[in-house]
Structure formats: structure tokens, C-alpha cells
Amino acid sequence: MSLLDPAQSFSQGSSQLSHTQQLAQWDQQRAEAMRLYQASQHSQFLDLARDNLRSARILQNATREGTALSDLGLAYLSGQQPQQALEFLHQALESAQISRQTKTTAVTLSNLGSAYSQLGQLIYAKGLLKRALILFQRVQDLPGEVSTLHQIALLYTQLNQPKRALLIHHQVLARRRLLGDFSGEAVTLNGLGLVHHALSQPEQAMSCFQEALKIQRATRNLTGESTTLNNLAAVYTDLGQPQQALITYHQILLTQRSVGNRRGEATALHNLGFTYALLGNGQQALTFYTQALIHYQELDDHPGEITILLNMAAAYADLGQKQQAQSCGQQAQALVRQIEHEPLAQKVQQVLDGL
């Protein structure tokens, strides 16, 4: 007995249904896909998004095909595969613009902004997000507007403009609370904490992270909790408590491995290396840095890869291994030339000048 792929199953199982019933069935499958996304079941979401794209093409429904393309892009994006996401998101954007679907266009532009941000193309990402923001405001989609503002605020933090980021985060926090969006409130509190951290205000950062952690534990958001713990550990380091930071990072590493979050695991490994370097244990730092570097390369995360290489260069320099330090710096310089990330480019040049 031969097996059918999901698209064939949909086609044969739907042949007895009217066209209207087939569309309703597709809509139910799409709702299930979004439930999986909300539950952070990324691999299952990706599988169902693929199935829905095949089914939409069988139905020859352009609107649903565009929606499925957008969902598939989002699935790759949530799985930390931005390069693969771009292929489908650009197709989704074209489809939405041809059919003049303003909200779908806004959502797709926002997701494209996230993808380019992950790839380190921050200026281009900001432009996409601002286009999305205008469209969300035009259709009076407050949740979409708030989510996009949050992403813009994060970009301003990355672009070394923390005061602009702080202003936007406070606007977003007020709107999240108005909407009763507890999960979103925790995300925004994390964003605020990162800004205070960038402004060298560890006490204010700690307060924001602890408030976010309370919400995430109350809502049993394990992924969000790990993110917040990671941010708290960075503050422990700033406050001169590296041993507490190490304990927290090791806890996070175990959690991220248990849930299969490769990006979270890479971040934890990176931070463990950085903390060991602060404690003067260069060899142990390099052990964790090397593991993190492999993860970032597999994720196609150039900003993460560059940052790791710069930290490795510093560690090798501290150990008196100048040749290895220069090699890491040169690799970072070659990578930063491939992306649009001026703050990182400046850091690379500073490290090379110091070597």
C-alpha cells in the first residue's frame, strides 16, 4: 500500500466536498497552524505551513496561497532560518500587493524586517518596519502596530540609539497593558531592560527583567523565561557577580538544549565564554566560544558570528597568541563587509587596531 503526501491526501479527501467546504477545511488547517505557532511548536508549524501551501495551490486560490507563503516564511523565521524565510516572504509580499491586501502586506513587511534584522541588515530592516507601521495604522490594527513599534525599538538599541529606543518601548508598554497583552508586556519589559543595560543603568535593567520574569513564570512561558534569565545574568556580571551569572547561564544552557532552541543555546554558550573570560579563564572561554561559533554559523547568524570572533580575538590576545587573535579579527572583518551593520563594523576596526 503506497502512502500519500499531505497535498494528495487533501485533494482526494476533499474531492467529495463543495468548493466552499474545501475552502472552509483549508481555513481550519490554517487556524491549527497558527495555534502551533502561538504554542512555539515551530517544527510542527513548519510542516503544516508547507502542507497548507500545497493545498492552497491545489485549490487554485491566490489569496490563500499568499497567506500560506507568508506563514511558511514566518515558520522559517521563528525557526531562526532567516535566509530561507526571505524566499517565501518576498513571494508573499508580491501576492499581497497584487491583490491589494493592506493588512497582509503590513504583516509580510514586518516579517521581512525581522528576517533582515536577523541577517544584520539593520538599516534596510528599519525601512521595511516603518512601511509596515504606516499600513497597520492605516487599517487601525493596534496589535500589529504595537508589535512593529517593538521591533523598531529593538533596532534602535542595536543601532546604538538607546534613548530613541527607550521612548518607543514606553509607548509600547502602555499599549500592551491597554490591550491586556501579558505575554507582550513581558517582551516589552525585556526590551526596556536591554535599553537600560545599554545605558549602563543595571539597577533599572534588573527591575525590568525581574518584572518580566514574574509574568513569564505566571504564564508558564519557558522560552521567554530563558530569555529573561539570560538578560538577568548579564546584569549580574555588570554588578560584579560573575559566579551568579555563571550559575544562571548553565541553567539556561540546559533549558535551551532540552527544548531544542539552537539560537538560545548559542547565546548561552557565548555568554558562558564571555563570563569565563572576565574571570581570567581564557582557555575555558575559548572552549565555549568555539561551540557558540559553530551554532551561529549553522544558523547563518552573521552578527552573532562576528561578535564571537571578536571575543575570541580578545581571548587569544590575552593568552599571548597574537597570530590566532589576528586571524579571528580578519575573519570578522570579512564577514562584517557582507552586512549593513555600522556599530559592528566600528567594533571590528577597533579590535583590529588594538591587535
Range of the domain at 303: 262-355
pLDDT value at residue 151 = 95
Is residue 321 assigned to a domain?
yes
Is residue 122 assigned to a domain?
no
Position 187, amino acid: V
Q: How many structural domains are present in the chain? A: 1
Radius of gyration (Cα) for the chain, nearest Å?
Answer: 22
Q: Which residues are within 8 A (CB) of 219 and not within 5 positions of it... i.e. 6 or more apart? A: 182, 183, 186
Is residue 249 assigned to a domain?
no
Is residue 7 assigned to a domain?
no
Is 73 a residue whose pLDDT tops 90? yes
pLDDT value at residue 14 = 54
Residue carrying the nine cell digits 490594527: 141
The predicted-structure confidence for 301-355, as pLDDT tens digits, reads as follows 888 999 999 999 999 999 999 999 999 999 999 999 888 777 888 899 999 998 8
Q: Rounded to an integer, what distance in angstroms lies between the CA atom of residue 232 and that of residue 202?
A: 10
Query: pTM here?
Result: 0.73
Q: Rounded to an integer, what distance in angstroms lies between the CA atom of residue 278 and that of residue 50?
A: 45
Is residue 185 assigned to a domain?
no
DSSP for 266-323, written as a single string: HHHHHHHHHHHHHTT-HHHHHHHHHHHHHHHHHTT-HHHHHHHHHHHHHHHHHTT-HH
Is 6 a residue whose pLDDT tops 60? no
Is residue 352 assigned to a domain?
yes
Residues 38, 43, 47, CA angle at the centre, nearest 5°? 100
Is 135 a residue whose pLDDT tops 90? yes
Is residue 207 assigned to a domain?
no
- Which has more confidence, 93 or 344? 93
The answer to whether the CB of 265 falls within 8 A of the CB of 228 is no
DSSP for 22-88, written as a single string: HHHHHHHHHHHHHHHHHTT-HHHHHHHHHHHHHHHHHHT-HHHHHHHHHHHHHHHHHTT-HHHHHHH
Is 13 a residue whose pLDDT tops 60? no
Is residue 300 assigned to a domain?
yes
pLDDT value at residue 10 = 52
pLDDT value at residue 8 = 45
Query: Looking at residue 279, which CATH number applies to its domain?
Result: 1.25.40.10
